Copies of this chain bind each other. A is one copy, B any other.
Amino acid sequence: MPRYDAPIRDMKFIFHDVLALQNYSNLDGFADATPDIVDQILETSGKFASEVLFPLNSVGDKQGCKRADDATVKTPDGFPDAYKQFVENGWPLLSKTPEMGGQGLPHALSIAVSEMMSAANMAFAMYPGLTSGAYEALMAGGSDDQKQIYGPKMATGEWAGTMNLTEPQCGTDLGLIKTKAIPQGDGSYKLTGQKIWISGGEQDLTENIIHLVLARIEGAPEGIKGISLFVVPKYFVNEDGSLGERNTVSCGGLEEKMGIHGNATCVMNYEDATGWLVGDEHKGMRTMFIMMNEARLGVGMQGLAQAEVAYQNAADFARERLQSRALSGPKAPEKPADPIIVHPDVRRMLMDTRAFIEGARMFSYWTALYGDLLHKSPDEKVREKAGDYMALMTPVVKAFLTDRGLKACNDALQLHGGTGFTKDQGVEQYVRDVRIALIYEGTNGIQALDLVGRKLAANGGRAIFTFFAELDDFIAENESDEELKPFIDALATAKGELQEATSWLMQNGMSDFNNAGAASMDYLELFGLTALGYMWAKMAKTALAKRGSDPFYDDKLVTARYYISRILPETSAHLAKLKTGAEPLMALEADRF
């Protein structure tokens, strides 16, 4: 039977042993995040994910969402009830600010919770995930009134939020937006236009939906500098907080998609819909960017999450499926054949995924902690570094974790053989669901361009140089430790290659921007591999110190060794490729492809 068991032991290891959250009690809300509280939150949310959300995962895939002629949308059976429980349990409030009724706990912890929800049911988890994104945007850019009207109900999840960016003619290039906003003289605007691919644009989970919409005020400058952000509620909110009339925004249709069938992907039609400006005129993109780091981190988690659930079921299948004998002689002679986990190539797929997952989990929680430090640290230098790191790491988390997450899901399918291609065990759903994570919130190619074009260069390269200095310090501190040495040496090699790639980019990317573009994806891969190498070295150090108390630490060291010997060597190919420059890519005329 397919299953999802929350990887709580590993989460505890990261939070308590490696990141040591208990040492950050000077930050708001962290004192409340005692190890006991953290464990309890992980366990109860993991149970909810496994027992409530996971059984609905295949239901959602098979049923999908249905739009009726009256433009209402029905989510799959069980989704509304599960959503009700989700809200009643208070999961959305975990790390939200107490002013809005939240618990104010660390963001890093809520990232772990969202990993579990997403692993159990990605299509479901997107509804509250996007609500959180919209909520954060309102908190970042909205007026006090707007925060007061929409904030508390969005914080609890009683109301949902959506992000309306894409139009048929524009995805990446939001400067091409056509949706018009006409000021009404009373502070409100009338919005007209069509938005597409709006996740949760309409549904039957919440009594209200708060749409955040990018549009162009009549007479605004062309391009990206003329885009404003509006809040457009499905139902207007009366002064007493009750719901009023229906706004003229409606779902014009649902997309047929490869995966995440349980999530309603809507065409949204705005027909003189009433909305209010969020933040300043023509500055809509600024607010969007504020919340984008968090949203992208969340998408990266989806890659990791689907990899985790796929891995668990692949490991089960590998232990249960009897087929052929071990190359080294029968391991289960009493059975008609050995379980396929005896075969090295089956283990290759499992270990590849395991080493990715555990490294990626550490990397994303570590990055999320910088999100907490950015918002909560009293020390300006710490906040500066945290902001630099969030900016630098976010595109890597988003793209590297989703690219490798897809690979992991495909490996899990492959391990299932023919069974994997059928709908029997549900593993092919993970491949189809995770696929979108490489695309939305900025395609992975856009992440790579953001990394090399914007993040590396910002503040004269301050972020990347700080990171290199941190790696150098870590290497210097630990290279004399005999047991740690293999990890330190491997990290030093990867770091050297990343540094060489960075220098190459600085020398060649400025003189010809196409060199930067051509190098971008290989640079991002090299960065991701190195960052995970650092995470693995940190985890190995902790595991060596704790070894003996729990076989968990021995397993951790096995997986760490696998990472440095069987995954990290990929760095050199990326370095070689990126140093070729743009010429091999740009030489062919467009019409010759």
Q: Is the CB of A518 within 8 A of B555?
A: no
* With contact pairs A173-B337, A327-B516 given, residues A584 and B438 touching in the complex (Cβ less than 8 Å): no
**In contact, A584 and B565 (Cβ under 8 angstroms):** yes
- Asked if residues B438 and A318 are in contact (CB atoms below 8 Å), the reply is no
Chain A interface secondary structure, helix, strand, loop or mixed? helix
Given A257-B422, A570-B573, A577-B566; A341-B561 close (CB under 8 Å): no
User: Which of B170, B257, B319 is in CB contact (< 8 Å) with A421?
Assistant: B257
Indicate which residue in B324, B410, B551, B585 contacts A172 across the interface (CB closer than 8 Å): B324
Q: Please encode chain A, from 341 to 359, with 1 for each CB lying within 8 Å of some chain B CB and 0 for all others.
A: 1111111111100100000
A166-B319 in contact given A344-B514, A344-B517, A445-B346 (Cβ < 8 Å): no
Within A322-347, which residues are at the interface with B (CB < 8 Å)? 322-324, 327-328, 336-337, 339, 341-347
Taking the full assembly, how many copies of this chain does it contain?
Answer: 2
A520 to B431, CA, bound (A): 25
Asked whether B520 lies within 8 Å of A345 as measured between CB atoms, the reply is yes
> What residues of B have a CB within 8 angstroms of the CB of A324 in the complex?
172-173
| Measured CA separation A538–B445 after assembly (Å) | 33
Q: Are A406 and B410 interface neighbours, CB within 8 A?
A: yes
- Residue A439 is within 8 A (CB to CB) of chain B in the complex: yes
Cα A590 to Cα B344 with chains together (Å):
12
- A38 on the B face (CB < 8 A): no
- Chain B residues, CB < 8 A from A444: 414
Among residues of B, the one whose C-beta sits closest to the C-beta of A555 is B592
Knowing A413-B435, A414-B445, the reply to whether A593 touches B327 (Cβ < 8 A) is: no
Contact B422 A588 (CB under 8 A): no
B588 x A518 contact (CB < 8 A) = no
**For the complex, is A256 an interface residue (Cβ under 8 Å from B)?**
yes
Interface residues of A in 147-164 (CB under 8 A from B): none
Q: Please measure, in the bound complex, the distance between the C-alpha atom of A440 and the C-alpha atom of B418, giving whole angstroms.
A: 7
Which residues does chain B contribute within 8 Å of A343, judged by CB atoms? 445, 517
Q: Which residue of B lies closest to A168 (CB)?
A: B419
With both chains docked as a complex, state the minimum distance between the C-beta of A9 and any C-beta of chain B, in angstroms.
11
Q: Residue on B with the closest CB to A440? A: B418
Judge whether B582 and A421 touch: CB under 8 Å.
Answer: no
With a cutoff of 8 Å between Cβ atoms, the chain B residues found around residue A259 in the complex are 421
Q: Chain B nearest CB: distance from A197 CB in Å?
A: 5
Docked-complex contact A590 and B337, CB < 8 angstroms: no
Assess whether A588 is in contact with B173, with CB atoms less than 8 Å apart. Answer: no
Question: How many Å from the CB of A450 to the closest CB on chain B?
Answer: 11
B residues in contact with A428, CB < 8 Å: 258, 435
Is A17 in the interface zone, CB < 8 Å from B? no
Which residue from B319, B559, B587 sits with its C-beta under 8 Å from A591? B319
Question: Across the interface, do A172 and B417 meet the contact criterion of CB distance under 8 Å?
Answer: yes
Q: Are B593 and A513 in contact (CB under 8 A)?
A: no
- Tell me which of B350, B438, B520, B587 contacts A414 (CB under 8 A): B438
Are A417 and B517 touching (Cβ within 8 A)? no
CA distance A417 to B447 in the complex (A): 13
| A417 and B443 within 8 A (CB) | yes
Contacts of A577 in B (CB 8 A): 565-566, 569
For residue A33, CB closer than 8 A to chain B, the reply is: no
What are 14 contact pairs spanning A and B, CB under 8 A? A169-B336, A173-B323, A176-B322, A318-B590, A327-B513, A344-B520, A345-B445, A346-B445, A350-B593, A417-B439, A421-B435, A431-B435, A558-B584, A569-B572
